[in-house]
């Protein structure tokens, strides 16, 4: 049985083109034999008839009453797809110029290459030469682990865009094909290492991550603490090296806990501020 494909088109104020995008995408998928899909339109606070038009062509609509940062949209979507009856998740920038044919080509390439990692379309803007991600596909379990966060440009990663400044680590060696005429590249997203997954978890769930380290170091502190207590019962004298070791481990644990509380509060505040923008 083929995986059901959950397709999410992020769009804003595009009533003129959204219907044709949906109909062409549905038609091209059916021609490829991929009719087991669910097309959803994420309306990012449109002020025109985008929502109404999308509903008329039988697309499911997820509407935001006001403009939301794409980072928040993706965070909410990861929670939504948890119970989604789809094994594959496709994201499309509905305000970009990418055509349904290219999206279907991406899906077909992903299915034929074993579905081991993500894949996407990278398009060079004709105006200023900047690169933007117009479409992405992941297995659902992989998508839910992707940190759609703004990131700094480093030596080994580029700050790429999906209609906004959303950072995604792309290995340029994984470029599958380049179309010089359309200035677009089909690329693979490499599987993340265990260390990458740890960093993702630390970034998205700081209280759980640093809270776990708090308990680990308190367990470490328990060892010299037990020895200290036994030594005191036997000799009525405090063993200062054990006491200092216990204090050290406990102190490090408290530092981790404080760090988790502060970072968690900052994440919560950032989400609330982003939701008001």
Residues 153 and 248 placed together within one structural domain of the fold: no
Dump pLDDT digits (tens) for 219-257.
999 999 998 888 888 888 888 888 999 999 999 999 999
Dump pLDDT digits (tens) for 117-176.
678 877 766 555 566 778 888 888 877 776 665 443 333 333 334 433 344 445 555 555
- C-alpha–C-alpha distance, residues 184 and 122, integer Å: 5
Handedness of CA 8, 13, 17, 23 (dihedral sign): positive
Asked whether residue 155 is domain-assigned, the answer is yes
pLDDT for res 126? 54
Residues 71 and 99 placed together within one structural domain of the fold: yes
Helix (H) or strand (E) holding 157, with range, is none
pLDDT for res 159? 32
Residues 115 and 210 placed together within one structural domain of the fold: no
Asked whether residue 269 is domain-assigned, the answer is yes
Angle at the Cα of 119 from the Cα atoms of 118 and 124, rounded to 5 degrees:
140
Residues 178 and 235 placed together within one structural domain of the fold: no
Residues 29 and 55 placed together within one structural domain of the fold: yes
Residues 144 and 70 placed together within one structural domain of the fold: yes
Domains identified in the chain, total number: 2
pLDDT cut 70: percent of the chain above it = 71
pLDDT for res 155? 31
- C-alpha–C-alpha distance, residues 105 and 124, integer Å: 18
Asked whether residue 199 is domain-assigned, the answer is no
Please tell me what DSSP assigns to residue 66: S
- pTM of the full structure: 0.64
Asked whether residue 200 is domain-assigned, the answer is no
Residues 211 and 160 placed together within one structural domain of the fold: no
CATH for 183:
3.90.550
State which of 193, 224, 244 marks the end of a domain: 193
Residues 85 and 177 placed together within one structural domain of the fold: yes
Average of per-residue pLDDT values in the chain? 77
Dump pLDDT digits (tens) for 10-48.
888 888 989 999 999 999 988 888 877 889 999 988 899
pLDDT for res 144? 77
State which of 193, 217, 250 marks the end of a domain: 193
Residues 189 and 214 placed together within one structural domain of the fold: no
Asked whether residue 233 is domain-assigned, the answer is yes
Q: Cβ–Cβ contacts within 10 Å for residue 137, how many?
A: 26
Phi and psi (nearest 5°) for 2? -75, 145
Nearest to 51 by CA among 93, 96, 18: 18
Residues 265 and 225 placed together within one structural domain of the fold: yes
Label residue 76 by pLDDT band (50, 70, 90): confident
Asked whether residue 198 is domain-assigned, the answer is no
* Whether the Cβ atoms of residue 104 and residue 28 lie closer than 8 Å to each other: yes
Nearest to 143 by CA among 163, 121, 161, 120: 120
Residues 79 and 189 placed together within one structural domain of the fold: yes
Residues 106 and 167 placed together within one structural domain of the fold: yes
Handedness of CA 252, 253, 258, 259 (dihedral sign): positive
Domain that holds residue 218: 205-276
State which of 193, 223, 245 marks the end of a domain: 193
Handedness of CA 124, 127, 129, 132 (dihedral sign): negative
Q: Cβ–Cβ contacts within 10 Å for residue 249, how many?
A: 20
Asked whether residue 162 is domain-assigned, the answer is yes
């Amino acid at each position: 049985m083929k995986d059901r494909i959950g397709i999410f088109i992020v769009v804003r104020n595009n009533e003129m083109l959204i219907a044709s995008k949906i109909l062409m995408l549905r038609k091209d998928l059916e021609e490829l034999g991929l009719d087991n899909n669910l097309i959803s339109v994420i309306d990012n606070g449109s002020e025109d008839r985008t929502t109404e038009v999308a509903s008329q062509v039988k697309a499911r609509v997820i509407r935001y009453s006001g403009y939301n940062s794409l980072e928040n949209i993706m965070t909410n979507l990861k929670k939504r797809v948890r119970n989604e009856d789809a094994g594959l998740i496709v994201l499309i920038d509905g305000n970009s110029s990418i055509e349904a044919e290219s999206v279907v080509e991406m899906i077909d390439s992903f299915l034929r290459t074993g579905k081991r990692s993500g894949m996407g379309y990278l398009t060079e803007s004709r105006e200023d030469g900047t690169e933007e991600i117009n479409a992405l596909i992941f297995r659902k379990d992989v998508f839910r682990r992707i940190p759609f966060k703004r990131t700094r440009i480093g030596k080994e990663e580029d700050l790429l865009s999906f209609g906004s400044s959303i950072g995604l680590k792309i290995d340029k060696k994984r470029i599958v094909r380049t179309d010089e005429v359309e200035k677009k590249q089909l690329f693979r997203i490499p599987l993340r290492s265990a260390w990458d997954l740890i960093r993702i978890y630390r970034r998205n769930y700081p209280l759980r991550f640093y809270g776990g380290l708090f308990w680990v170091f308190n367990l470490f502190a328990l060892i010299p603490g037990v020895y200290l207590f036994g030594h005191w019962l036997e000799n009525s004298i405090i063993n200062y090296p054990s006491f200092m070791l216990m204090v050290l481990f406990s102190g490090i644990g408290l530092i981790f806990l404080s760090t988790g509380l502060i970072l968690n509060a900052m994440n919560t505040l950032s989400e609330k501020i982003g939701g008001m923008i």
